[in-house]
Structure 1
Amino acid sequence: MKGIFIVLEGPDGSGKSTMAHKIGQHFSEKGREIEFTREPGGTDISEKIRELILDRNNTKMNYRTEALLYAAARAQLVSEKIIPWLESGKIVISERFVYSSLVYQGLGRGLGIDEVKKINDFGIAGLKPDMVLLFDINPEKALNRKLNIDGGDRIENENISFHRDVYEGYKKLAKFCPEIKTINAERTIEEIFDEIKDIINSI
């Protein structure tokens, strides 16, 4: 069977983890092998990079350093895990991919989409997802949900204006990337997943 690469994107707290689990369960019931991963992270090396990026004590991290670390973690994940999984015919469900870097570092940090895309193009070696589900939710509502759970990491604790820029960035990106399917995430879990099922069943 052909491997399928599904990416879930959206603001922090938009429900990506919940939907990743439900999508995986849906395909498992159809007899497919599923692998879950997240960004940054997913491998021993990438998880160590994740700790550096999200540590709330790393307040002096340069924005370019941040962008390069995300790209490095992603490159390791792609080469070590995602490509082999896809080649073996598995369905890979990833919480975040390149699109996060384009909006968080490219737009939110002001580094520019083209610059961030260049370093990531090198890191992912041409890999493209089969489908990207973008969870559209008010950034304040989503962020409050996340911060109330665990206090948030370094990125989640950025000023709300940063998260608004990221949210607007996602909406702009969706206009130029046909693989992105925008999902209204301000509904019940059942309503959201009913829409997702119609989309993923068309793959």
Structure 2
Amino acid sequence: MTSPQTDGLFLTFEGIDGSGKSTQCRLLADHLRRSGREVVLTREPGGSPGAEEIRRLVLEGDPDRWSAETELLLFTAARRDHLERTILPALRAGKVVVCDRFADSTRMYQGLSRGDLRTTVDRLHSLMIGRDPDLTVLIDMDPATGLARAKGRQGSEERFEDFGLDLQEKMRAGFLSLAEEFADRFRVIDGNRPVDDVAAEVAATVAAALSATHPAPASEESGG
């Protein structure tokens, strides 16, 4: 599938559970809005009505509820709906899309850590999605710290956290490997620091990407 031509900027955040990426997504979106950007803050799985229904199917319930193959199909269906109904319309309108997880998470959770399905993940992505982020920010976090944070949330969506520290460690190694594989779009940021310090580095990283391809609005350029 050929990537659609768009005018906006597509930013994604990746990282292990409890890495703080969701917080950094929100902080970046707020920062960009204050700078005069039009921003759509979204997430995966989810981000559109149909995709949110699938999210409940895959993130709640017993850890062994689905096979890795079934999860892959569910996540791909959710991503396709999200792409059609949320991401592409925003990009065509020239907005910045900030997304909490995207296909790289599927490459890790279903492609490597839940089964030897990486080739299948990439084939499905090419066939049904055909769009990669312009920039991916990987918040790198100590696996044990991340798991403790994730379990401390005590929400209903703990299915993957229930796989334990071993999965967290595999995921961290896998994400760092992806950052090397897709070095042109990945930026790795140390998440083992105060939230504000991480946010400042994220903002600077994104500013560099925006300045290269999407000049600042007139109000920002004039200091207004």
Question: What TM-score range do you get, normalising by the shorter chain?
Answer: over 0.9
How many Å apart are 1:197 and its aligned residue?
1.9
Instruction: Indicate the structure (1 or 2) with the bigger Cα radius of gyration.
Output: 2
User: In 2, distance between residues paired with 1:65 and 1:118?
Assistant: 15
Q: Determine if contact 2:147/2:164 at 8 Å carries over to the other structure.
A: no
Match of 1:193 in 2: 199
State which drifts further: 148-157 or 176-185: 148-157
State which drifts further: 5-14 or 26-35: 26-35
Provide, for residues 61-117 of structure 1, a one-character-per-residue CA deviation record: whole Å limited to 9, x for no partner: 111001111111011100111001000011100000000000111110122321111
Q: Determine if contact 2:21/2:139 at 8 Å carries over to the other structure.
A: yes
Give structure 1 stretches of 5+ with no counterpart: none
After TM superposition, the score normalised by the length of structure 1 is 0.94
State which drifts further: 160-169 or 177-186: 160-169
1:1-203 equivalence runs, <5 A? 2-57=7-62, 59-124=64-129, 126-151=130-155, 152-178=157-183, 179-203=185-209
Q: Determine if contact 2:13/2:139 at 8 Å carries over to the other structure.
A: yes
User: In 2, distance between residues paired with 1:30 and 1:194?
Assistant: 14
User: In 2, distance between residues paired with 1:141 and 1:111?
Assistant: 27
Q: Determine if contact 2:45/2:78 at 8 Å carries over to the other structure.
A: yes
Aligned-partner residue type, residue 143 of structure 2: P
Give structure 2 stretches of 5+ with no counterpart: 1-5, 210-224
State which drifts further: 189-198 or 98-107: 189-198
User: In 1, distance between residues paired with 2:136 and 2:48?
Assistant: 22
User: In 2, distance between residues paired with 1:120 and 1:69?
Assistant: 13
Q: Determine if contact 2:39/2:97 at 8 Å carries over to the other structure.
A: yes
User: In 1, distance between residues paired with 2:140 and 2:13?
Assistant: 11
User: In 2, distance between residues paired with 1:143 and 1:123?
Assistant: 32
Q: Determine if contact 1:46/1:73 at 8 Å carries over to the other structure.
A: yes
